[in-house]
Structure 1
């Protein structure tokens, strides 16, 4: 997580990288840059507590529930960690609302290949299904497409500034996600199954 003061926003900005999350009641900004990854913003309007995560499933979850798949554990960890941090700060599960961003097809096997939709589609599907199962209403989404996104979340008000990233600027987003994808694939245990309790 990277922190700096932004004079235009007149706030401290904390920037999340893939695999990170943050919940807070402070008057700051939480930012992240997304390609095929997804970020879910959560908010408790009564308490003025907000948070954001940034996750990627390392592959297609298949025909069954993504919650029971090996790739689904990354999204599950990101969502459960964010929800639990919100609850620790005083948020109530029944008061949570969500916004979902990302899932752009930016990962390419090489410079001339078409973008692969499997990872972004599984990321979007996981986020929407998780929020549905947990009965957390989705207030807004900006997902899909073939571009990246830069998100600025104001956690106390749930206001989001979104900038779409295209052209050569997306190259660094693609590289960060490729590096993260390689890291989580290396860390994935071989064999066995994921069980939820």
Structure 2
């Protein structure tokens, strides 16, 4: 159990994960990200001691139905983000049957974008997708801090798979919202160009 967070962060190698990115690591490291409406899946294989984190938003002008999160452009984007992370971990030696998850983010910090949709906030859709994905792939969700109205800073420690969460104030949450809006707009632009889909595969359970 890490007691002194500041000292632990100073002593360990740290990787910052930005929107649309993911990171995979072995050894004693920390994966860090700042979340608003986006969600982060923190995956780990405790047998082979491999960890990974992604940071994504389901960027689409159409929300996905309540129980069908994979049958839309938004769903395909989310599946791609998850499979990039899982495939990368398997390439490092992780095994699908060992994977466990912790999930964070999905706050309601994008009220302007939320008005474009009818099935909940952007954060709620991201949460719904991530929960459904993990359930479909039989990856246990061991803990989570999802929803709310504030952004959060998270640190994922590979040493014991603990995740430290620090809520951020309204001012920083607003800044996060602006950056996430830009990220969503760019993702929409790329999708509208109809770039070829990349299909990634890993062994299903």
Please classify the TM superposition score into its range, dividing by the shorter chain length: 0.7 to 0.9
Query: Which ranges of structure 1 fall in alignment gaps of 5 or more residues?
Result: 1-5
Is contact 1:50–1:156 with CA below 8 Å preserved after alignment? no
Alignment of 1:125-140 (within 5 A): 125-140=128-143
| 1:27 CA displacement | 1.3
Q: Secondary structure at the match of 1:71?
A: helix
The structure with the largest helix share of the pair is 2
The structure with the largest strand share of the pair is 1
> Is residue 164 from structure 1 mapped to residue 167 from structure 2 by the alignment?
yes
Alignment of 1:65-104 (within 5 A): 65-104=68-107
Scaled by the length of structure 1, the TM-score of the pair is 0.87
> How far, CA to CA, are the matches of 1:149 and 1:11 in structure 2?
21
Match of 2:176 among 152, 173, 177: 173
| 1:67 CA displacement | 1.0
> How far, CA to CA, are the matches of 1:28 and 1:64 in structure 2?
36
Is contact 1:67–1:73 with CA below 8 Å preserved after alignment? yes
Q: Which residue of 2 aligns with 1:29?
A: 30
> How far, CA to CA, are the matches of 1:43 and 1:95 in structure 2?
8
Query: Which ranges of structure 2 fall in alignment gaps of 5 or more residues?
Result: 1-5
| 1:190 CA displacement | 6.7
> How far, CA to CA, are the matches of 1:167 and 1:119 in structure 2?
17
Q: Secondary structure at the match of 1:186?
A: helix
> How far, CA to CA, are the matches of 1:35 and 1:52 in structure 2?
16
